[in-house]
Amino acid sequence: MRHPAHPIPPSRRSAQTRHGFTLVELMVVVALVAVLGGILVRFSANVQNSYNQSIRLAALAEDARAIFALLSRDLRLSTTRADDTPGNSIRIHQPDESQIWFVTANEAGSGQGSSLVEVAYRLEGAELQRAEIDDRVSVWNPYGDRNDIGALNVGSLTEADKAIVKGYQTVADRVVGFSLVCYDSRLVSLAPNQSTQSPAMVGVTLTLLDSKSFQHWQRLATAAERDEFARNRARVFRKMIQIPSVQFTRE
């Protein structure tokens, strides 16, 4: 004898046949996806920023290395002499902390002319500039006071001299800080003033901005704003350059 099938209660039937998510569950899922998406976007942005920052700093470091290499070559070959011939001396002069004028071996210069060449460095605006002159210019000799090479361009030079004297040439731009501190053989700071005594060491401080930051820096209206921006965005590089011909002494 067959028993009639018992009907399934409505509550159990609805529990067995229900499929999909409720509105609340969908909202929870959407919220979780949004949170995870936000975390992923921030993570990707941080990775990109870190990468861009590392590229920027690497480029600035490469610029600094090139500047230091040129300056080191010039300074390490520099020379001063007292009474090289009677009454004639080779001098070094530092008008201020962002300039220096000295005589160095011609390996640092054009490779022509005499064995000596006069070199000058200065910071002009945001450009680090270098000038040189040797005995191919009729009005130059290594003796006497050091004078600004750039001033020769406005003097009474011959046409042949003008073709040789090019004045200051840009070594690097985006330089928002450049200073030199000279030290004697006891590492006491000094400022050579038409001196026949060569410093034993020169400390160089170089402050550089990357291209994008430099464009922003140029648009700032006041010196105070530029200084504040440079403190936050520029990178400072320092190097001590020893003059090999000078012996250090101990107290």
Which residue ranges make up each domain of the chain? 56-242
Residue 231 pLDDT level (bands cut at 50, 70, 90): very high
Query: Is the pLDDT at 11 greater than 60, yes or no?
Result: no
Between 141 and 107, residue with greater pLDDT: 141
More confident residue, 105 or 153: 105
Side chain identity, residue 245: S
Q: Residue range 39-59: average pLDDT?
A: 76
Average pLDDT of the segment spanning 122-130: 95
- Per-residue model confidence (pLDDT) at position 251: 46
Residues 6+ apart with CB under 8 A from 94: 100, 101, 180, 182, 191, 192, 193
Question: In the predicted model, is pLDDT for residue 98 greater than 80?
Answer: yes
Give yes or no for a contact between 172 and 66, defined as CB atoms under 8 angstroms apart: yes
Which residue type does 117 have?
A: V
Query: In this predicted structure, what is the pLDDT of residue 13?
Result: 52
Mean pLDDT of 37-54: 75
Percent of the chain at pLDDT exceeding 70: 82
Q: Parallel, antiparallel, or unpaired for β 99-105 and 88-90?
A: unpaired
More confident residue, 152 or 125: 125
Structure-model confidence comparison of residues 70 and 105, the more confident one: 70
pTM: 0.76
Asked whether the predicted pLDDT for residue 173 surpasses 70, the reply is: yes
Structure tokens that stand for 240 in this block: 């001590």
Q: In the chain, what percentage of residues exceed pLDDT 90?
A: 48
Gap between the Cα atoms of 149 and 129, Å rounded: 12
Tokens 């040189």 identify what position? 132
